[in-house]
Amino acid sequence: MIQLSDHFTYNKLIRFTLPSIAMMIFTSVYVVVDGLFVSNWVGKTPFAALNLIWPVIQALGAIGFMIGTGGSALVAKLLGEGRKEEANSVFSLLIYFAFVLAVALAALALFYLRPIAVFFGAEGEMLEYCLRYGRILAVFSVVALLQNMFPSFLVAAERPKLGLYITLIAGCTNIVLDALFVAVLGWGLAGAAFATGISQLVGGAVPLLYFIRATESPLRLGRAKWNGAALLKACSNGASEMMTNLSMSLVSILYNFQLMRLAGEDGVAAYGVLMYLSFVFIAVFLGYTVGSAPIVSFHYGAQNDAELQNMLRKSLMLVGISGLMMVGGSLALAQPLSAVFVGYDKPLLEMTVRGMRLYSFSFIFTGFNILGSAFFTALNNGFISALISFLRTLVFQVVAVIWLPLRFGLDGVWLALIAAEAAAVLVVAACFIGLRKRYRYW
């Protein structure tokens, strides 16, 4: 079994992170499958409504990424320092805190969902579709938050394959139930929401049961001592991941506003397809960082500078090659992949294909930015990680999506992400260079 303390060759690093990559890809399948069935079996308006309200649902799970990434970095560092009992106490505290917070957020979402949907511009039939889909998933958001959190802790517990198996089961559950509820039983948008919610229940509850009953794992859910400093450290350290997900939600809202203005309902639908396809590609980068971050944290805690340098060099190479492959794949597959979602509407299909071909060039930069943010999280430097995420996912994108459409019209919306990611790469490079002596990864 590969352990965090090992020296990682390319082969060993890929083998260790591959379960996390596959896990993130299958996690991204949830909303993709919903969109596929809704678009083809329910219609364009419900499909647009799903995409309009999804950023709210996505924002509810952002806390899970924060606690998972920030908490696992802290826990892995404690394990690297040989403080196993304290690591388990902190781990348990984070799980209990996350559950209570998830319940409170779900209640708030149910209460405010209608005014939020109206603020986004939903009205009439689209508003009712937004509420139907959003209310169901708000209830399931408690387990969705846990599902977002556990992959990082399973890697820290040296059980990445278990996380993969759980995610595979949850993903297959979503696919089967979408087919049953939407295509066979005709439950429409509500059926898609229930399919996703039940799959999230599988993805969130099964790891919880594992950590309750685990006997040989380095981490086990048990009694926890209050540790406000550890809780604050985990949350601040993982703030970049929460910022990334919250910013994605806010920016998606801004994109939808621009697209409604420039292209109407079709623009929102086309953007939805682009998001679904990009989720799968970006999941590769996210999965790699989820799988590799505990390695960085462990060796940072063990003060193994040589392995930190090894991890950075290999990570930059793998991410760069993957980005180029994704651009080529996106350009080649834009037409057939878009047709799977909106092949029934030729103008919408043409708009989607053009958007995807422009949008795909952002993958050249995206991997380096995700890696940069995650690497500093793993080093327990939440400030730098959050700064990268804040600039990349919010500031640069907001500026780009407001300014570029004024110059290039609808194409400016598709080009906005490229401009934002390119600007963020410069920030990441500056952070790596500026802090190399402090952390000795260079």
Tally of domains within the chain = 1
Any domain includes 4: no
**Per-residue pLDDT reduced to its tens digit, 41-78:** 988 888 888 888 887 887 777 788 788 878 887 887 88
Any domain includes 390: yes
Residue type at 297 in one-letter notation:
S
Any domain includes 1: no
- Write down the pLDDT at residue 244: 67
Q: Residue holding tokens 């509500």?
A: 190
Instruction: Name the residue among 369, 361, 376 with its Cα closest to residue 324.
Output: 361
What does the alpha-carbon distance between residue 385 and residue 401 come to, in Å, rounded to a whole number? 23
pTM: 0.72
Any domain includes 424: yes
Instruction: Work out the burial of residue 348: count CB atoms within 10 Å of its CB; fewer than 13 is exposed, 13-18 middle, 19 or more buried.
Output: buried
For residues 354-370, one letter each, b for 16 or more C-beta atoms within 10 angstroms of the residue's C-beta and e for the rest, the string is: bbbbbbbbbbbbbbbbb
How many helices and strands (H and E) does the chain possess? 16, 0
- Residue 43: CB atoms within 10 Å: 15
Structure tokens at 299: 């060796």
- Write down the pLDDT at residue 7: 79
Angle at 285 between CA 294 and CA 442, to 5 degrees: 60
Regions of the chain where pLDDT drops below 50? none
For residues 251-268, one letter each, b for 16 or more C-beta atoms within 10 angstroms of the residue's C-beta and e for the rest, the string is: bbbbbbebbbeebebbbb
**Cβ pair 200, 143 in contact under 8 A:** yes
What does the alpha-carbon distance between residue 83 and residue 85 come to, in Å, rounded to a whole number? 6
Any domain includes 38: yes
- Write down the pLDDT at residue 240: 63
Domain range enclosing 193: 10-439
Residue type at 56 in one-letter notation:
V
Length of the chain: 442
Q: Residue holding tokens 């929460």?
A: 242
| Helix locations, 302-345, DSSP H | 305-342
Structure tokens at 145: 């938050």
Any domain includes 330: yes
CA distances from residue 99 to 70, 93, 106, 208 in whole angstroms, order as listed: 16, 10, 11, 11
- Write down the pLDDT at residue 403: 93
Radius of gyration of the chain (CA): 21
Structure tokens at 192: 């898609």
Structure tokens at 66: 């924060």
Any domain includes 3: no
- Write down the pLDDT at residue 30: 65
- Residue 401: CB atoms within 10 Å: 22
Any domain includes 5: no
**Per-residue pLDDT reduced to its tens digit, 415-429:** 998 999 999 999 999
- Write down the pLDDT at residue 74: 82
